[in-house]
């Protein structure tokens, strides 16, 4: 829907995923949207080069998230929110299964929640 403005369907999907999930890595995003891993990696790299996203290595995985210093972050988030409202969530719930906790890409992107009552 925003492809003419954003320039790429995959870039739109990456931004949508980041908005809904807060962070992600290439394989996770590609699987979610059934997109080419190479295309997702290219868009993540371009968005990081343009300072829209920042990345960090977690083990052998590069995890991306929005750069909080990006000057148009509020506008990007607003566009993504509007996109979700306009077309619905046609890929299933983007936020399904998202829980607060430690993000662990090595476990298939699952969030690890420690049982703090046991003192671990």
pLDDT digits (tens, 9 = 90+) for 49-58: 999 999 999 9
Least confident interval from 1-5, 54-58, 69-73: 1-5
Task: Please list the residues that pair with 58 across neighbouring strands.
Answer: 61
Q: How far apart are CA 25 and CA 57, in angstroms?
A: 10
The pTM for the full model equals 0.74
Q: Using the 8-state DSSP alphabet, how is residue 111 labeled?
A: E
Average pLDDT score over residue span 97-120: 45
The domain made up of 3-94 has a fold known as Arc Repressor Mutant, subunit A (1.10.10)
CB atoms < 10 A from the CB of 98, how many?
13
Cβ contacts of residue 23 below 8 Å, gap of 6+?
A: 63, 64, 65, 103
Domain ranges in the chain are 3-94
Residues sharing a CB contact under 8 Å with residue 54, sequence separation 6 or more, in sequence order: 48, 64, 65, 66, 67
């Amino acid at each position: 829907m925003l492809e003419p403005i954003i320039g790429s369907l995959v870039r739109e999907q990456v931004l949508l995923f980041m908005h809904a999930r807060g962070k992600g890595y290439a394989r996770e995003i590609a699987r979610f949207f059934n997109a080419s891993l190479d295309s997702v990696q290219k868009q993540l790299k371009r968005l990081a080069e343009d300072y829209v996203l920042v990345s960090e290595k977690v083990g052998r995985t590069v995890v991306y998230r929005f750069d909080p210093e990006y000057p148009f972050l509020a506008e990007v988030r607003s566009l993504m929110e509007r996109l979700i409202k306009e077309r619905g969530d046609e890929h299933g719930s983007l936020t399904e299964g998202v829980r607060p906790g430690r993000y662990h890409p090595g476990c298939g992107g699952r969030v690890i929640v420690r049982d703090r009552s046991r003192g671990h």
